[in-house]
Structure 1
Amino acid sequence: MKVRILGVGMGPQHVTAEVGAALRTCDYVVAAAKSADDDLLAVRRAIAEASGVEVVPVPDPERDRDDPADYPRAVAAWHQARVAAYESVLRERGGTAAFLVWGDPSLYDSTIRIVDGLSERLPIDYDVLPGISAPQVLAAAHRIVLHPVGRPVHLTTGRRLRQSIAAGQTNLCVMLNAHLDLAGLDDWSIWWGANLGTDTQSLVAGRVGEVLEEIEAARIRVRREAGWVMDVYLLRAPTGRSS
């Protein structure tokens, strides 16, 4: 058996020629189905159908999303449940399976870890092909560079934003935002985007104190229009503040 982990950006328009060619070598796509009307599963179907590849939906195991006390342990348990669910599909079907990963598999995605777990249970070989990441699309959409001259950019999640700022980070690209926690950062600059590269893309930029309400309204609108919202933003401290 073979598994191909393919980065597909934010949808069919971001599938690279390399990934498209790899997908056409696969017998089927394994995809998590989070609900009966999973909009993100529909996008995966569109990508697979363009290459004539069947999608095998797998009900996604339940996960504790209410900020559990031991977050790493909760995620690890969820990953193990996913491994077990996918294992049954691979054992039954064999052949070459693909996993289509939003953005790029290297950034805040656990597909590689899950397939590592599968490889401990099954005789599979796997490879990974990169995709266009959300920070790349955000920077292009706003026509910006993610970092000032000679300075780093810190990649983190909404869950760890406050911890990162407390540690002295002043230029942050923030992903996986269950909600926006920007209180007290009114003078910081933000470049925000949701559902990047799709028909429901929304962009806002400015001082946090001036545009926060606009961003919150845009998140609600995008979720209503698309059925889902994935947002990412660059947050930068006022000029002159150092880490």
Structure 2
Amino acid sequence: MRKIYVIGIGAGDPDQLTVQAVKALNHVDVFFLLDKGEEKSDLIALRHEILRRHIDGRAYRLVEARDPERDRVADSAAYPGAVDDWRSRRAALYERMIIDELGEGPGEDRTGAFLVWGDPALYDSTLAVLEAILERGRVRFDHEVIPGISSVSALAARHRVGLNRVGRPVQITTGRRLAEGWPDGVDDVVVMLDAHQSFRHYLAADPVIHWGAYVGTEDEILVSGRLSEVAGRIEELRSAARTRKGWIMDTYLLRRD
């Protein structure tokens, strides 16, 4: 039977791969890479570097395809539908690649892999897309998930802080949800996928912020301090970095007293 590995590759540093991930890389015949456009070509380049550095002489093939464009709706009510549509188009693309590139006969390539930024279990669609393909029933495959170092773990390590405090919870959420209000019952909130710097809603409360962009890469930017003191600097750095690279990937921890 065909087999698919879903391999977490960390937050940007090729040295963040686990031993388990390296072993999995060396069992793969075909790597499926999604092209997200010229602006994000360095994401593909990093995956090439990971394979170059960690595969020990094994022959493999690369299959690249253009990632479907996602409708970035501003309306919260329309957001779930836009995500469902994007995932459906991704499922059709993945299904076609698996059928076309992996076989079940003698001498055919049977093992494929998707290299997932960070950890496959945290704000990534790959597992849900593969489940949708299996439910369609057009192609059979086994799949195995290899966890990776998430941007959340990498952020905490770079700032040398714990995500939670003794006996207290921490919540991971999105910028969209944070803009709707601080989560109930928690004082420590990790925020991902924040395109609009939703931390600005909490300047008056003045929590501590530990912010990082491109964590683990050569372009890494880190800022830490009281929100009232560093919010402007974060916005300036974020805007300049996005202009320079064409995209930005940032995460932050808000911690109120």
TM-score (norm 2): 0.87
Distance 2:61 2:87 in 1: 24
Instruction: For 1:11-50, list aligned pairs within 5 A.
Output: 11=12, 12-36=14-38, 38-50=41-53
Gaps of 5+ in 1: none
SS of match in other structure, 1:223: helix
* Change in CA separation of 1:190 and 1:171 when aligned onto 2, cut-off 3 Å: same
Q: Which amino acid aligns with 1:129?
A: I
Distance 2:83 2:154 in 1: 27
Corresponding residue number in structure 2 for 1:117: 132
User: Is the contact made by 2:168 and 2:186 (CA closer than 8 Å) also made in structure 1?
Assistant: no
SS of match in other structure, 2:182: helix
Corresponding residue number in structure 1 for 2:117: 102
User: Is the contact made by 1:48 and 1:55 (CA closer than 8 Å) also made in structure 2?
Assistant: no
User: Is the contact made by 2:191 and 2:253 (CA closer than 8 Å) also made in structure 1?
Assistant: yes
Gaps of 5+ in 2: 103-109
Distance 1:72 1:84 in 2: 19
SS of match in other structure, 1:212: helix
Q: Which amino acid aligns with 1:117?
A: A
Distance 1:24 1:222 in 2: 35
State the superposition RMSD in angstroms: 1.7
Q: Which amino acid aligns with 2:48?
A: R
Corresponding residue number in structure 2 for 1:85: 93
Distance 1:54 1:209 in 2: 50
Post-superposition offset of 1:54? 3.0
Instruction: For 1:1-243, list aligned pairs within 5 A.
Output: 1-11=2-12, 12-36=14-38, 38-50=41-53, 51=55, 53-68=60-75, 69-94=77-102, 95-120=110-135, 121-165=138-182, 167-186=184-203, 187-237=206-256, 239=257
SS of match in other structure, 2:43: helix
Post-superposition offset of 1:35? 1.1
Post-superposition offset of 1:224? 4.5
Q: Which amino acid aligns with 2:52?
A: E
Q: Which amino acid aligns with 1:101?
A: V
Q: Which amino acid aligns with 1:183?
A: R
SS of match in other structure, 1:228: coil
SS of match in other structure, 1:25: coil
Alignment size in residue pairs = 238
Q: Which amino acid aligns with 2:82?
A: A
Distance 1:143 1:79 in 2: 36
* Change in CA separation of 1:141 and 1:166 when aligned onto 2, cut-off 3 Å: closer
The structure 1 segments of at least 4 consecutive aligned residues displaced by more than 6 Å after TM superposition are: none
SS of match in other structure, 1:43: helix
Distance 1:230 1:206 in 2: 20
SS of match in other structure, 2:209: strand
